[in-house]
């Protein structure tokens, strides 16, 4: 048990080697099949993004993976080319709407016109299928945070790095996810880590796919 914000929170990490093997096998097969079937579509979206402003259409970010290892994380760029510099300016102006170390704005001025479409449809996330295939992240797992965010983590929050990060997580399938606090987000990640199983992963995958295709209530 660990003390967090004057309360006691229980957390116990348990290794699951058989589950880890099955999970990695699923990651390779599912991402490989997806790339074979829809790789052309990802390339088409990348081309359209390049035509929007003629800058690098792929956004490469350094994230923190399992056990604090730094990994490269890819997306189709949905923001203007100088988004990182603008982020610092927005933070300095006190416009961060998140209550934790992560940055969040409902109407982020850095997002481009085509970028709004990419984000609304989650198409901007598709290059991460390659990251899954080569083993940097998994289909399901806590979202990999930025290094500067991890620098502000408490010992309790650092436990979300006990497992490999993922494309989908328990937080993303909550209908009220945008109303949840950062601490509640962390609690959901640690709940997943403790309860992780093949059935839970499948539940997150199917519900996540349903919400992307048919239910945008979490936006």
**Residue 8 falls within a domain, yes or no?**
no
- Check: CB of residue 218 under 8 Å from CB of residue 176: yes
Percent of the chain past pLDDT 70, that is, above it, reads 95
**Residue 105 falls within a domain, yes or no?**
yes
Domain count for the chain: 1
pLDDT at residue number 216: 59
**Residue 218 falls within a domain, yes or no?**
no
Give me 4's structure tokens: 């967090």
Average model confidence (pLDDT) across the chain? 91
pLDDT at residue number 85: 87
Tens of pLDDT along 194-204? 999 999 999 99
**Residue 206 falls within a domain, yes or no?**
yes
Cα–Cα distances (Å) from 182 to 177, 186, 187, 188, in that order, read 10, 6, 9, 10
Between CA 170 and CA 71 the distance in angstroms is: 21
Model confidence at 145: pLDDT above 60: yes
Q: Residues 177-181: contacts with CB within 8 Å, 24+ apart?
A: 177/218, 178/218, 178/219, 181/99, 181/100
Model confidence at 133: pLDDT above 90: yes
**Residue 103 falls within a domain, yes or no?**
yes
Q: DSSP string of 23-80? A: HHHHHHHHHHHHHHHHHHHHHHHHHHHHHHHSS-SEEEEEEE-GGG-EEEEEEE--B-
Tens of pLDDT along 3-35? 555 444 778 889 999 999 999 999 999 999 999
User: What DSSP character marks residue 120?
Assistant: H
Can you give the residue range of the structural domain that contains 155?
Answer: 14-213
Tens of pLDDT along 42-60? 999 999 999 999 999 999 9
Between CA 45 and CA 130 the distance in angstroms is: 15
Give me 188's structure tokens: 């959901």
Closest CA relative to residue 187, chosen from 27, 17, 23, 2: 2
**Residue 167 falls within a domain, yes or no?**
yes
**Residue 25 falls within a domain, yes or no?**
yes
Q: What is the pLDDT averaged over residues 157-178?
A: 93
Q: Which residues, in sequence order, are CB contacts of 105 under 8 Å at separation 6+?
A: 90, 95, 96, 97
- Check: CB of residue 76 under 8 Å from CB of residue 114: no
**Residue 107 falls within a domain, yes or no?**
yes
Region of poorest pLDDT, from 7-21, 73-87, 107-121 = 7-21
pLDDT at residue number 2: 57
Give me 86's structure tokens: 């603008």
């Amino acid at each position: 048990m660990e003390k967090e914000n004057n309360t006691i929170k229980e957390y116990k990490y348990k290794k699951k080697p058989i589950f880890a093997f099955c999970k990695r096998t699923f990651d390779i097969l599912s991402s490989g099949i997806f790339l074979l079937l829809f790789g052309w579509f990802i390339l088409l979206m990348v081309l359209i993004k390049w035509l929007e402003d003629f800058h690098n259409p792929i956004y490469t970010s350094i994230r923190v993976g399992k056990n604090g290892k730094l990994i490269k994380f890819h997306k189709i760029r949905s923001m203007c080319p100088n988004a990182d510099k603008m982020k610092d300016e927005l933070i300095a102006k006190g416009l961060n709407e998140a209550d934790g170390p992560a940055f969040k704005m409902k109407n982020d001025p850095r997002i481009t016109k085509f970028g709004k479409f990419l984000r609304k449809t989650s198409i901007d996330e598709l290059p991460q299928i390659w990251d899954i295939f080569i083993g940097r992240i998994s289909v399901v797992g806590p979202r990999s945070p930025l290094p500067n965010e991890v620098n502000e983590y408490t010992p309790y929050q650092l436990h979300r790095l006990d497992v490999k990060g993922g494309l989908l997580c328990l937080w993303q399938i909550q209908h009220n996810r945008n109303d949840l606090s950062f601490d509640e987000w962390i609690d959901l990640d640690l709940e997943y880590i403790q309860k992780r199983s093949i059935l839970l992963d499948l539940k997150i995958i199917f519900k996540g796919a349903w919400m992307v295709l048919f239910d945008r209530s979490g936006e």
